[in-house]
């Protein structure tokens, strides 16, 4: 929920007017409207309302016109907003310093309803807005009825509202819709400290209205005010107002008309709008629906069409109201959870475990049967070609097994006497054998046990049990266990890591029972819900995987078991009731629970829309028709099912019924408007005709007939209609299975909701998807608050929401065809709708919300003619792709291990298991969104002139193509032949393998990331390819010899012969690396030194360069204060007697490393962290930091010094990180000679961080500076953080005219409070022929906070003048430093409050 005021101040009861009541005289008892205006109102209201709506429609969607540009946050409107200490003074909204570092920004946006936005920065604690309204300057505070969520009345004198966290800041928005309130007064209070923040001892005063109107010489006639007030009344649902409310509405109408005059609209135009259209009177529709409240339906005539379309007017909402931000739940395996909460195994489970863990035993079958309050375990094993049946139970009473053997499933044959256990009694067709009691792990932990060895030739064992005087059966039937082993032994299922293994084992054991019917399956699932809930998301994932396997018919639905429909319904209700309860109590699992409910469904059939995808696979498998036309149709159904599929299915049925007359197939298609050309026009074209054989006829007719019902249910909206009926209520009086059923409507639904759902049903088959999508999403938005409130019918609302969600997917897939020639704004608008739908269905959706904000901003830029709209939209598109990839990875991590483990346990087809997560992703809006994004990408690249490539390192190359998934997985490999790597994933911090001459990837590492710098230094061609067709072509050439010829913006490639390889320049040194020599540095007798003492014998180039800059760069460039732990300090600490044990352990590990045991690298790093700080080091470092003006961590307590010491040791330990170690090996650098100084700097809490290359690295142009900028700290730029930074160039003769090349797509920013950072500074960096920079770690004393970034509110993206100022300053700083050194520089720095700070510089390699 948002803190904006989203509900109406006027909450009086809605009085429904009788349909026969006319509008003459006073209207519904309201005296607001005078009789003489009635005729004018009647003439004008219908068109006026349409006109108002149409003015906001903009051809595609209905929005509220914004009163200020998104790129320049200027306060505007009819009345000036005034923020002042003295209420009589006037000045625009401004920034305040409240106390300490707390900053307050107040902005007022005035329209018909003023909005006051207050943002607090650099603050902590429980801060509240203590506020009230003023109707006159000297009056008392009044308490407005429209209040942000969480507002409380304080002593009947004021309102108190909590601020909401937004990133690192606090935010609050207050809307004032009472026109009598002229100003807002407030204070800020910290309730925890009882501390008040005032404005120089007085209240803060925000003037939101003024009696002075723009164009004050114009007076609006009262008749127009009356008409405008009538339209407001009609728009709000014709409510019954009190006299005070009438007055408020009347004045609000007057204010709206003065708003229009202030915008330059004349009185004549206003009168024309309200009363005339092209000189023709508009008649009022006196039969307008009384149910219309705030959500209106607009009928807009479409030119040159004989019909009209209806559209929903979408309410304007704060997107942050959709935020679901739960605490991340780590995915732990059963073993990891056991260490936290050990699970006590029952005696029967302990026995089963002891058998299953024996060596050289195969488990052929394992079943668990429920016996009242106990269970019966039946385990079939095979060892040394002998089969044995183990039966175990916790039943206390004496127990007899009444059993036989089967050569055919189900038959009772008397067991041979030599197989009878001792003490058995042979009977005519069976035998009786007594169970024996044994103790398991203690005298009190007992079970009854029986083991029977079985001879050859038998396939199973039927049995029943006898205890006391009663027979025990399996729900009225015989028990039966098969001896035939599964294709996979159970032990092949793996160790269950990353799953709720114990729960999955239980599910596998109960599957034979669950197969009997849906009643059995749902009841078993209900019984397991408590354990699933206690196991967290992994437990719920286990239930989802099991139910999904059921829904896709991988599991048996009914095994010859008769069960009444009402019994299935009762079991289904029991399960969904439990799911509803978990949904209410554990909102962090809502997405998983929605998926489970979608799979189970109201009647066990699940999401009908998803069944379209699932059942075609079943048809193909059951009828052996996986290729040809059926496979092409399958691909189309997965990509974009449409009403055409109903016709195609009918054509197939007719074709089969006609004994495979192909002319019948084509006749059905053509009669219904589907031609061969249309089949070929689909995204997934259908090129072949069906070809079936007579032995497939019966099965295909049965399965396609069932499938036809599924297709019709989706494309006629039948599934949605039933979900709506279930919530809205109905009584069935006609014919059919629902006769006599009476369903009451769900209580507490929003007003106007039934009409909204009726609108959706009326448009559910529309070919133009936009109208339907708007209605569906408005319905979901209106329904959303009800899903978080207690309601005994909550599950009905959830199933309605699931049906609306499913219909969105179907509608968007139906629209693909018309998008082939669509303009980019149409595709972008559809993306916003599908993204909104995904947000409404997702947990932890913050990144998706900011993507949606970005798309809205891109649309606004396009509408206003901003030339950079396509470049900005491309960055949003890239971020959206990253968000979708992240969602897919989280699904895979959570669900796939459970699918593979349970699939192996249940012996399911491997294809169904391997595509499990992929199919789950395709079932949701993410797949539709991905498809739309893929359609838009080439359009944006074309408009923005981006081409198909970004060439990061333009080096000509010849090599053999090798395709790999991750660069990280091959970074330490050496290729013997020149190799062109086509790599799916590049993170940005990897090394490039020896022998590699080129790296091509669809991934988007920053141009100045580590791997990009490495590629340029190593003269390796490196490029991002955006065109999937080019990438597919390159992958298809794996093993072939290619020549790459890059420019700064493109790469041409062609196949070549071996002779070209010999002539290629870049093959001469393949597999050979230069040898670099280091001189070991000695300890100079000081543990800490100041920047004045930095020399080449004491510190590395990083420290010396920062010291050199001090006092030489322009005064507007800040240089952070620095001290250092010099070379040799680590070795000195290691040799201290305090660390003798650590030294000895480290020596042993280093010897193992020298012998080639690279696994010890991690152990070495851990050992370094065991070092103890000598007291002398602590004292010297304290003295140097304090004398240099830096804060000493120990002043905040011993714990803070320990944090600093750990950070120092982590820098030293990074000498042995894998990437650095293998990099030094490649250049034959003696690792023992590598010494590590530590540069100590105070962290600047950056707004932005940047890296500059003063010669453009992509083109090599020395007249051009290239830079990249990220929000927050620079680690997201140089480290392995996905997405791109903002990039720009600046000509050195026009540094004040930077050109943005790309907007940022990084979803994460790193922020930190005031702290200290310890930077690595080795003697192995910036060497001739070897760039060691970036290999070793820089470690802050405090952990950075990861913040999901909202670029829509970032002035660097939205404020053109601010952007130009910051980017120009960065470029000027880079140019100044290059001139200082006289050579190209690689500069790192940050921006804080508009000031540039340089934290390090080095020669550009």
| Catalytic residue ranges | 1010
Crossing angle for the helix pair 769-783 and 794-814, nearest 10 degrees?
Answer: 160
561 vs 501: CA distance, rounded Å: 29
Residues 6 or more apart in contact with residue 113 via CB below 8 angstroms: 175, 176, 177, 252
- Judge contact between 190 and 198, C-beta under 8 A: no
Closest CA to 840 of 894, 798, 792: 798
Q: Are strands 1395-1403 and 1264-1271 parallel, antiparallel or unpaired?
A: unpaired
Tokens of 803: 């049906």
Task: Give me the phi and psi of 375, to 5 degrees please.
Answer: -125, 155
* Eight-state DSSP code of residue 1389: E
784 vs 315: CA distance, rounded Å: 14
- Judge contact between 1041 and 1056, C-beta under 8 A: yes
553 vs 1110: CA distance, rounded Å: 72
Dihedral angle over CA of 563, 564, 570, 573, nearest 10: 80
Show the DSSP H helices in 20-127 as ranges.
38-57
Closest CA to 599 of 610, 590, 587: 610
Exposed/middle/buried for 1319, CB within 10 Å: 0-12, 13-18, 19+?
buried
Q: Which residue has 């932990």 as its token pair?
A: 445
CA distances to 57, 67, 638, 862 from 865, rounded to whole Å, are 18, 17, 38, 5
- Judge contact between 947 and 1051, C-beta under 8 A: no
Exposed/middle/buried for 1063, CB within 10 Å: 0-12, 13-18, 19+?
exposed
1321 vs 1212: CA distance, rounded Å: 10
How many other CB atoms are found less than 10 A from the CB of residue 47?
A: 20
61 vs 778: CA distance, rounded Å: 12
HSE, CB side, 13 Å, CA atoms: give it for residue 820.
6
- Judge contact between 1012 and 952, C-beta under 8 A: yes
DSSP element (H, E) containing 598: helix 590-600
The total number of residues written for the chain in this structure: 1405
DSSP element (H, E) containing 618: helix 608-623
1090 vs 476: CA distance, rounded Å: 87
- Judge contact between 1352 and 850, C-beta under 8 A: yes
Beta-bridged to residue 173, according to DSSP, are 117
- Judge contact between 1283 and 1355, C-beta under 8 A: no
Dihedral angle over CA of 849, 853, 854, 857, nearest 10: 170
Q: Which residue has 């599910």 as its token pair?
A: 507
How many helices (H) and strands (E) in the chain?
Answer: 40, 50
Q: Which residue has 């946006």 as its token pair?
A: 109
- Judge contact between 175 and 8, C-beta under 8 A: no
1101 vs 1079: CA distance, rounded Å: 14
Task: Give me the phi and psi of 614, to 5 degrees please.
Answer: -70, -45
Going through 700-767 in order, the beta strands assigned E by DSSP cover: 730-731, 742-743
CA distances to 37, 53, 225 from 280, rounded to whole Å, are 18, 19, 21
């Amino acid at each position: 929920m948002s803190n904006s005021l989203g509900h109406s101040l006027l909450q009086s009861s809605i009085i429904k007017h009788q349909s026969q009541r006319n509008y003459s005289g006073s209207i519904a008892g309201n005296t607001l409207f005078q009789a003489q205006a009635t005729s004018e109102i009647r003439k004008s209201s219908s068109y006026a309302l349409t006109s108002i709506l149409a003015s906001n429609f903009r051809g595609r969607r209905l929005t509220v016109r914004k009163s200020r540009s998104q790129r320049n946050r200027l306060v505007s409107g009819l009345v000036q907003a005034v923020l002042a200490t003295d209420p009589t003074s006037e000045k625009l909204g401004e920034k305040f310093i409240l106390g300490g570092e707390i900053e307050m920004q107040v902005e007022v946006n005035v329209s018909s309803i003023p909005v006051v936005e207050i943002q607090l920065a650099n603050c902590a604690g429980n801060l509240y807005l203590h506020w009230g309204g003023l109707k006159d300057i000297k009056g008392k505070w009044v308490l407005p009825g429209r209040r942000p969520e969480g507002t409380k009345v304080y002593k009947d004198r004021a309102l108190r509202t909590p601020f909401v966290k937004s990133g690192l800041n606090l935010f609050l928005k207050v809307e004032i819709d009472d026109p009598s309130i002229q100003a807002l007064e407030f204070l800020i209070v910290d309730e925890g400290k009882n501390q008040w923040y005032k404005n120089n001892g007085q209240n803060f005063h925000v003037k939101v209205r003024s009696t002075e109107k723009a164009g004050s010489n114009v007076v609006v006639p009262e008749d127009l005010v009356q008409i405008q007030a009538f339209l407001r009344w009609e728009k709000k649902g014709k409510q019954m107002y009190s006299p005070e409310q009438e007055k408020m509405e009347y004045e609000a109408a007057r204010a709206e008309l003065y708003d229009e005059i202030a915008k330059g609209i004349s009185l004549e135009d206003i009168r024309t709008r309200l009363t005339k259209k092209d000189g023709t009177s508009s008649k009022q529709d006196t039969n307008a629906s009384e149910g219309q409240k705030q959500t209106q339906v607009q009928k807009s005539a479409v030119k040159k069409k004989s019909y009209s379309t209806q559209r929903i007017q979408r309410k304007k909402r704060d997107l942050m109201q959709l935020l679901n931000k739960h605490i991340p739940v780590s995915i732990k395996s059963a073993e990891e959870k056991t260490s936290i909460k050990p699970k006590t195994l029952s005696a029967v489970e302990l026995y089963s475990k002891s058998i299953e863990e024996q060596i050289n035993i195969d488990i052929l079958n394992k079943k668990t049967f429920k016996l009242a309050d106990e269970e019966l375990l039946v385990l079939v094993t095979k060892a040394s070609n002998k089969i044995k049946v183990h039966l175990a139970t916790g039943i206390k009473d004496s127990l007899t097994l009444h059993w036989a053997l089967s050569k055919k499933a189900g038959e009772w044959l008397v067991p041979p006497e030599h197989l009878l256990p001792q003490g058995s009694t042979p009977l005519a067709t069976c035998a009786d054998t007594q169970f024996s009691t044994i103790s398991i792990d203690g005298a009190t932990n007992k079970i009854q046990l029986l083991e029977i060895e079985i001879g050859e030739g038998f396939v199973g064992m039927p049995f029943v049990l006898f205890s006391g005087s009663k027979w025990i059966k399996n729900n009225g039937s015989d028990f039966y266990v098969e001896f035939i082993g599964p294709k996979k032994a159970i032990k092949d299922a793996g160790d269950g890591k990353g799953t709720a293994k114990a729960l999955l084992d239980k599910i596998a054991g109960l599957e034979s029972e669950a197969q009997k019917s849906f009643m059995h399956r749902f009841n078993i699932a209900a019984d397991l819900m408590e354990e699933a809930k206690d196991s967290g998301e992994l437990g719920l994932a286990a239930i989802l995987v099991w139910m999904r396997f059921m829904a896709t018919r991988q599991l048996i639905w009914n095994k010859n078991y008769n069960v009444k429909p009402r019994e299935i319904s009762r079991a289904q209700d029991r399960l969904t009731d439990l799911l509803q309860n978990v949904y209410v109590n554990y909102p962090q699992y809502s997405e998983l629970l929605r998926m489970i409910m979608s799979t189970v469904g109201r009647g066990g059939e699940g999401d009908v829309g998803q069944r379209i995808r699932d059942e075609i696979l079943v048809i193909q498998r059951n009828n052996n028709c996986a290729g040809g036309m059926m496979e092409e149709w399958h691909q189309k159904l997965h990509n974009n099912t449409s009403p055409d599929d109903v016709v195609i299915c009918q054509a197939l049925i007719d074709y089969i019924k006609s004994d495979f007359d192909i002319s019948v197939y084509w006749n059905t298609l053509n009669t219904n408007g589907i031609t061969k050309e249309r089949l070929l026009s689909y995204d997934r074209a259908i090129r072949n005709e069906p070809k079936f054989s007579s032995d497939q006829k019966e099965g295909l007719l049965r399965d396609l007939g069932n499938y036809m019902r599924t297709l019709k249910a989706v494309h006629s909206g039948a599934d949605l209609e039933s979900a709506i009926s279930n919530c809205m209520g109905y009584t069935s009086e006609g014919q059919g299975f629902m006769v006599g059923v009476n369903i009451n409507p769900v209580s507490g639904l929003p007003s106007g909701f039934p009409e909204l759902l009726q609108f959706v049903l009326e448009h559910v088959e529309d070919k133009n998807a936009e109208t339907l999508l708007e209605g569906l999403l408005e319905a979901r938005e209106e329904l959303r608050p009800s899903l978080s409130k207690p309601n005994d019918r909550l599950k009905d609302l959830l199933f309605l929401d699931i049906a609306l969600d499913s219909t969105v997917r179907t509608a968007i897939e139906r629209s693909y065809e018309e998008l082939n020639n669509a303009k980019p704004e149409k595709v972008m608008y559809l993306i916003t709708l599908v993204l909104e739908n995904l947000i409404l269905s997702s947990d932890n959706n913050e990144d998706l919300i900011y993507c949606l904000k970005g798309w809205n901003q891109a649309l606004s830029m396009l509408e206003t003619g901003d030339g950079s709209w396509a470049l900005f939209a491309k960055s949003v598109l890239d971020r959206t792709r990253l968000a979708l990839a992240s969602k897919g990875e989280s699904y895979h991590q959570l669900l796939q291990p459970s699918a593979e483990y349970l699939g192996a346990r249940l012996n399911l087809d491997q294809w169904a298991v391997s595509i499990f997560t992929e199919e789950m992703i395709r079932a949701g809006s993410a797949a539709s969104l991905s498809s739309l994004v893929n359609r838009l990408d080439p359009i944006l690249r074309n408009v923005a002139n981006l081409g198909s490539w970004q060439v990061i390192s333009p080096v000509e190359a010849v090599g053999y193509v090798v395709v790999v998934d991750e660069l990280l997985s091959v970074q330490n490999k050496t290729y013997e032949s020149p190799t062109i790597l086509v790599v799916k994933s590049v993170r940005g911090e990897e090394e490039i393998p020896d022998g590699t001459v080129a790296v091509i990837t669809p991934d988007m590492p920053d141009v100045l990331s580590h791997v990009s710098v490495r590629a340029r230094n190593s003269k390796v061609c490196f490029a991002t390819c955006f065109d999937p067709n080019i990438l597919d072509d390159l992958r298809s050439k794996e093993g072939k010899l290619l020549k790459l010829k890059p420019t700064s913006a493109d790469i041409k490639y062609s196949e070549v012969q071996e002779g070209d390889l010999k002539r290629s320049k870049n093959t001469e040194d393949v597999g050979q690396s230069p040898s670099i020599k280091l001189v070991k540095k000695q300890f100079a007798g000081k543990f800490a030194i100041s920047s004045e003492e930095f020399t080449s014998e004491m510190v590395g180039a990083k420290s010396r360069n920062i010291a050199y800059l001090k006092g030489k760069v322009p005064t507007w460039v800040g240089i952070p204060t620095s001290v250092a732990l010099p070379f040799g300090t680590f070795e000195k600490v290691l040799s201290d007697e305090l660390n003798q044990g650590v030294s000895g352990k480290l020596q042993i590990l280093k010897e193992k490393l020298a012998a080639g045991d690279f696994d010890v690298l991690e152990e070495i790093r851990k050992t370094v962290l065991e070092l103890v700080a000598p007291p002398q080091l602590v004292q010297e470092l304290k003295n140097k930091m304090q004398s240099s003006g830096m804060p000493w961590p120990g002043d905040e307590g011993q714990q803070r010094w320990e944090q600093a010491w750990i950070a120092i040791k982590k820098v030293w330990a990074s000498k042995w990180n894998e990437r650095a170690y293998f990099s030094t090996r490649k250049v034959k650098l003696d690792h023992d000679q590598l010494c590590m100084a530590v540069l100590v700097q105070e962290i600047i809490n950056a707004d932005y961080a940047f890296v500059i290359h003063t010669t453009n690295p992509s083109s090599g142009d020395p007249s051009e500076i290239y830079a990249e900028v990220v929000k927050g700290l620079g680690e997201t730029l140089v480290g392995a953080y996905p997405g791109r930074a903002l990039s720009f160039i600046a000509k050195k003769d026009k540094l004040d005219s930077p050109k943005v090349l790309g907007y940022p797509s990084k979803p994460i920013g790193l922020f930190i409070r005031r702290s200290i950072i310890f930077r690595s500074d080795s003697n192995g960096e910036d060497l001739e022929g070897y760039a060691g920079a970036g290999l070793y770690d820089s470690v802050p004393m405090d952990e950075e906070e990861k913040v999901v970034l909202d670029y829509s509110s970032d002035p660097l993206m939205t404020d053109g003048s601010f952007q130009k100022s910051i980017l120009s300053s960065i470029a000027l700083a880079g140019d100044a430093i290059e001139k200082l050194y006289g050579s190209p520089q690689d500069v790192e720095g940050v921006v804080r409050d508009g000031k540039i700070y340089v934290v390090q510089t080095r020669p550009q390699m």
